[in-house]
Structure 1
Amino acid sequence: MKKNVLITGTSTGVGFESAVLFAKNNFKVYATMRNLSKAIELQKIIEKESLDIEILELDVTKVATIKTVVETIIEKDGKIDILFNNAGAGFAKTTEQATEAEIRWVTDVNYLGVVYCTQEVLPYMRKQKYGQIISVTSVGGLVGQPFNELYCGTKFAVEGFMEGLATYVSDAFNIKITCVEPGGITTEFMNSAIEKTASEGQFATGEYLPIFERYMAGNQKRANESKEQVYQTGLEVATVALAIAQNENPPLRIRTSKWAEDFCDLKTQADPDGTKIVAQIKDSFL
């Protein structure tokens, strides 16, 4: 029987590429997205290549839609093998000048969405005594960056959440946990984040403005001079996620490029894949 995988945020980028790649590698894919009107390109590929992908509506900020999708999968397959928490949103703005609505939005999408999706699949994985939860975080989940503190905060939160889970559900219920940590990605995610930041530059005013201008200039310089080194394609990141899904003993953490590895080196050199800290916590608490 094929393993099935529930992937969030599959309308573009890493999620889109992952849905196609997993299906081509003998997985049954439940490709979910908030807005089904964005499913046209994925549907075309499904039909052209006869891929085993079912597209479902799921908004990670709305628990009812998560419950509905999980129940649909259980009714059809009786199991959920892999949850791939991919949905996320970029955000760059000073804490002082971000609105309450913006702070809640980025937290809901990037952190609470992961929690809610994980919460819904855990009972089924626990009962079946196996499962895998893969979450796309970011190098921003390990290293804080200017004007990205609210975004980084949500990714740090996912890292802590996943690490905490890994300390007890892996041994007790054979549920494997991994954080996939990309650097820059040349997808709609990156473009929309930069465009949103640039168009709302008026929020970086006063004493923040010269710092913000240096930040944006640095982003543009990296994009122009080091694109191949800094930025990966969605397919490259999806390929790492597939390898994790096929790994019988996956790491807790994995960076998806040399640039990402180098960028996080000061944070990760003592325990690159997170296995040492999980073992230490188990020894200390369990």
Structure 2
Amino acid sequence: MSKVALITGTSTGLGQSLALQMAKQGFRVFATMRDLSKADQLINAASQGAALEVMELDVTDSDSIQNCIDTIIRDAGRIDLLINNAGAGFVKTTEHASEEEIRWVTDVNYLGVVRCTKAVLPYMREARSGHVINISSVGGLVGQPFNELYCAAKFAVEGYTEALASYITPAFNINFTAVEPGGIHSEFANNVLSQLERSQGYPEDEYQGVFNQYIGGMRSRSPEQTAEIYQTSDQVADVVLQVVQAEEPPIRVRTSKWANELCNFKSGLDQDGKKQQRMVIESFLPEF
């Protein structure tokens, strides 16, 4: 019997690659997106006969999430795998960001993960089986210039994933993994630039010089340096599939050599997070 996978944010980029690759691997994939008008590219790319169904799901709307999951449970009877992929970049200083923007970047990148996870956990707990994969970022381990609000949301995803793995995994056999890509050649990066353009860049204040250095540093990278940092969506999806198929999935995993090197001071002693998980379980839940 095919395993049932729910993936958020599948209209473009990594989400689309995941939906297509997993359908080809024999999963029954429920590929969700906020705006179904963007579904044509995914539908047209899907192999004929692939078990891939496109559904509406807005990670910022609890009713939308619950309606989608109720439909999947009625139709498929279970959800074996949730991939919380939906997210959005945000490049702006704390001082320049509006209250609305701060709420939005947190809502999309962190609270959406919590909402979707909350909605599937009762079914996974009843089955005593399941896997929740949260697409995080190297920005969830290492703070980066002008990305503090995005990084803060991804740091929250990391803590959320670790904490769930410390008691739900041993008690109910549900695994949790944070996947931490570096750069991805996808619509995600384009959306960040578009968002920056809509806000008309940075005003002429004391931050502008630092921001120009930041942009200049990105533009000065050689093609070889750029190739080290940026992966294709398919390359990152390959890593996610390895995690899905692992007998003992990691708590966290980077998706490239560059990502591992950037995060080495944070993750070098415990690459997959399993040592930390075991220490926490032994400290707080010694019976396990």
TM-score interval (norm. to shorter): over 0.9
User: Are the structure 2 counterparts of residues 204 and 127 from structure 1 closer, same or farther at C-alpha, using a change threshold of 3 Å?
Assistant: farther
CA contact (8 A) 1:93 1:204 kept: no
Give the match's secondary structure for 1:154: helix
Aligned partners of 2:197, 2:218: CA distance in 1, in Å?
Answer: 11
Give the superposition deviation at 1:217.
Answer: 1.1
Aligned partners of 1:35, 1:22: CA distance in 2, in Å?
Answer: 21
Residue 20 of structure 2 corresponds to 20
Residue 79 of structure 1 corresponds to 78
Aligned partners of 2:69, 2:272: CA distance in 1, in Å?
Answer: 30
Alignment of structure 1 residues 1-286 onto 2, 5 Å: 1-46=1-46, 48-222=47-221, 224-286=223-285
Aligned partners of 1:156, 1:271: CA distance in 2, in Å?
Answer: 17
Aligned partners of 2:225, 2:198: CA distance in 1, in Å?
Answer: 24
1:228-274 Cα deviation digits (max 9, x unpaired): 11100011111111111111111001000001001101111111111
AA in 2 matched with 1:6: L
AA in 1 matched with 2:44: K
Aligned partners of 2:139, 2:220: CA distance in 1, in Å?
Answer: 19
Structure 1: runs of 5 or more not aligned: none
Aligned partners of 2:59, 2:241: CA distance in 1, in Å?
Answer: 22
Give the superposition deviation at 1:50.
Answer: 2.2
Give the match's secondary structure for 2:39: helix
Aligned partners of 1:129, 1:34: CA distance in 2, in Å?
Answer: 30
Aligned partners of 2:3, 2:273: CA distance in 1, in Å?
Answer: 26
AA in 2 matched with 1:113: G
Q: TM-score, normalised by structure 1?
A: 0.97
User: Are the structure 2 counterparts of residues 208 and 220 from structure 1 closer, same or farther at C-alpha, using a change threshold of 3 Å?
Assistant: same
Aligned partners of 1:135, 1:223: CA distance in 2, in Å?
Answer: 31
Aligned residue pairs: how many? 285
User: Are the structure 2 counterparts of residues 222 and 191 from structure 1 closer, same or farther at C-alpha, using a change threshold of 3 Å?
Assistant: farther
Name the Cα RMSD after superposition. Answer: 1.2
1:192-215 Cα deviation digits (max 9, x unpaired): 213322453544541100001111
Give the superposition deviation at 1:77.
Answer: 1.3
Aligned partners of 1:125, 1:202: CA distance in 2, in Å?
Answer: 44
Q: Which moved more, 1:218-227 or 1:139-148?
A: 218-227
Q: Which moved more, 1:220-229 or 1:243-252?
A: 220-229
Aligned partners of 1:126, 1:204: CA distance in 2, in Å?
Answer: 50
Give the match's secondary structure for 2:64: helix
CA contact (8 A) 1:8 1:85 kept: yes
